[in-house]
Amino acid sequence: MTIYDIAKLAGVSIATVSRVVNGSPKVSEKTKETVRRVMAETNYTPNAFARGLGLGTMQTVGIVCPDVADPYMAKAVSYLEKNLQGYGYDCILYCSGYDDADREQAVSLLLKKQLDALLLVGSIFSDEQSAVLTQLREAAARIPIFLINGVLSGDNVYCVLGDDYQAVYDVTEELVLAGKRRILFLTNSSSYSAGRKQQGYEAALAAHQLDVDARLILHCENSIPATRDLLLRQRGLTFDSVIATEDGMAVGALKYAAVCGLRVPDELSVVGYNNSELSICCEPELTSVDNRGELLCRTTIDSLMALLDGQTIPKQQVIKCHLIKRASTDF
């Protein structure tokens, strides 16, 4: 049963059915009763198209993320969808991959849909050298663009992000104050977020008159065995603590410690990022930075709805991260 069938049975136009669905005052009570009776008799459930005909909106938001298989992004998409549903909105999801051309194609395909807004998940979209930016800024002339956990400039473009710089600065400082001097920094990305984390790490070392040793900054796949094996290959490199930009790499560092017979946290302290389920599935349990993804997503959707309602919202909102201390550190 479609909106066309309801309109035919009720003897009205499809636009009238949509107005009834949306509670428009422009429809007489008699017509409303007729349409509602037909919908009840046929067990009709209005979809986004039916709603959109009467409102000049499809009440649909596009979401683009690089890879929904990534645990952080999967959770973000789940939080966004849940909050959108709370406002009566639907969403269309595209996974763009990480290549510039693939991201451009994904955004292009999504923008062909009738959308009320576009949400971009991940700081990979902060790359000012990306060809997709021109496309996004042109789209922002029609609909608002929101970037989650990254920064992107432009009119009608809004950003909600965690304070990754301060979070890593603080945890680096805590390790230094606990007597650590050889702090290894593990990263798996060159994204805006990863860059801010590394800047926080380097700034904290400098604030305590410690040199930044380039050998202690390692790039690694976000994989437990890959991280373990990478660290085992670092012959002659000494370190007394690890900060990883993802929990998977931090768990890999714990596996490395187990192979080498290092006591955690006495001989090696380890800190992860994202406070994922991995942080409590290992032994010892992992200290990790909670970047508060649920709050980021809720703030994004609340801000979007306020904007669509005609309210003024900040161009950029920064959410403070929380450090969750567990047994892999002793500070």
- pLDDT tens per residue, range 111-129: 888 898 999 998 878 766 6
Pairing of strands 269-273, 241-244: parallel
Q: What is the DSSP string of 119-138?
A: EEESGGGG-TT-THHHHHHH
Q: What is the mean pLDDT of residues 205-213?
A: 97
In this prediction, residue 174 carries a pLDDT of 98
DSSP-derived 3-state class of residue 265: coil
- The tally of CA atoms less than 13 A away on the side-chain side of residue 118 is 26
The answer to whether 274 touches 72, Cβ cutoff 8 Å, is yes
Give the CATH fold of the 164-291 domain. Rossmann fold (3.40.50)
What is the distance between the alpha carbons of residues 171 and 184, in angstroms, rounded to a whole number?
Answer: 12
Average pLDDT, the chain: 91
- Is the domain 3-55 a CATH 1.10.260.40 member? yes
Q: For the chain, give every residue range classified as CATH 3.40.50.2300.
A: 60-162+293-319, 164-291
- The 10s digit of each residue's pLDDT in 4-55 is 788 889 998 877 887 788 777 778 999 999 999 998 999 887 765 555 555 5
Q: Which fold has domain 60-162+293-319?
A: Rossmann fold (3.40.50)
C-beta contacts of 67-74 below 8 A and 24+ residues apart = 67/95, 67/97, 67/98, 68/93, 68/95, 71/274, 71/276, 71/277, 71/278, 72/274, 72/276, 72/293, 73/121, 73/122
Q: What pTM value is reported for the model?
A: 0.81
Stretch(es) of the chain classified as CATH 1.10.260.40? 3-55
